[in-house]
Amino acid sequence: MRSHFAGRLRHFIILAAVGAPVFAPVPASGQDEPSPPALQQPISVYNNWSSYDELSDNIPLTEKLAMRELDELLRLKRTGVRFDYYMMDAFWFAPDGRYRTWRKPNWPNGPDAWIAKCKANGVQPGLWFSANTLVKINAAPAWRDSLDNSGGAMSFFEGGFLPDFMNALQYWYDRGIRMFKFDFVDLNAATPGSAATLTKEEIRQRNATAFRDALRAFRARNPEAVLIAFNGFGGDLDNTVTHLPFHDPTDLRWLEVFQMQYTGDPRPSDVPEASFWRSMDIYSDHMVRRFEQLGFPLERIDSTGFMVGKTGQSTIAACAHGKARFYS
């Protein structure tokens, strides 16, 4: 089956338990507010990340690649395979574009053709954002009074970054984007003045509160938005051998604004196995259980799953060409 995927199909999916909206309480959060619409039945999300991977490979994201992936997705869809979303992963944006413009010359005409073709075929488009860290994007003038000492991240609770960032999300929602993936968040970011006067915990709490409040308001205005938390929102994601709770604390209050939280990239398990792929399966399952033990409902956990394909996110995913995640 794996060779069939890697050889014939080439372009793959993420399966996530995100479905019809229902409100449910967040367990053990200490909060009275309801969670966001918990997505109660599975949907299928295609993520194009490992069909290019600009972090550990040299294949760039281009309009040609993304549209070829969409054609493959639609070919499978015509045969009965379910696809509800297409997530455009990292580095679609121009470095000086404040998340409003797409990178040239890779996207000479911007995303309009991709968005329109997704919509015309019943697939909702999604976008990746680097939250408050500068990963292949430059600090816009409106962000500079939020920069930390390193110049590599912005405070959520100070300066002009967060209002401008939320305006960017609204801009894309208004143009048809319905899934938003937030990665590489840094809750320790603070301006030099705050870094000199506040404790690390005070900074983390102020950042978390400011971003959570902004996302809550965004969700209230845009009820069809699906929001997913990736790296930086808590959890020790590199192994499953450290004792719980995580050194990087998880906070169930994030489930008030995110439908799901990610459990890290796939890797071999801490349990010796003769089969490499079985080792990957064990790691994914173990990490899901660790999040469950901390109070995360299973349907709100974004499993690492597995990768198959041609490009590699790391040495352990040398056959990566997409991600598949499965939920009960």
Q: Kindly list the distances between the CA atom of residue 248 and the CA atoms of 15, 57, 236, in Å, as whole numbers in the listed order.
A: 27, 28, 6
- pLDDT given for residue 186 in this prediction: 98
Tell me the two tokens of residue 252.
Answer: 């169930």
- CB-based contact 212:257 (threshold 8 Å): yes
Q: Could you tell me what percentage of the chain is helix, strand and coil, using 3-state DSSP and rounding each to the nearest 5?
A: 35, 15, 50
- pLDDT given for residue 280 in this prediction: 84
Tell me the two tokens of residue 116.
Answer: 């329109």
Query: Who's near 141: CB < 8 A, 6+ residues apart?
Result: none
The DSSP secondary structure of 93-141, one letter per residue, reads B-TTSTTSSB-TTTSTTTTHHHHHHHHHTT-EEEEEE-TTB-SS-PPPG
pLDDT at 243 over 70: yes
Average pLDDT, whole number, for the chain? 83
- pLDDT given for residue 20 in this prediction: 30
Q: In the predicted model, what is the mean pLDDT of residues 236-243?
A: 88
Nearest to 322 by CA among 16, 123, 67, 51: 51
Domain positions in the chain? 2-136+176-186+226-324
Amino acid at 324: A
Structure confidence by residue, pLDDT tens digits, 191-211 = 999 999 999 999 999 999 999
The DSSP element (H or E) to which 181 belongs, if any, is: strand 179-182
Structure confidence by residue, pLDDT tens digits, 281-298 = 888 899 999 999 999 998
- CB-based contact 147:154 (threshold 8 Å): yes
Distance between start and end Cα atoms, the chain: 22
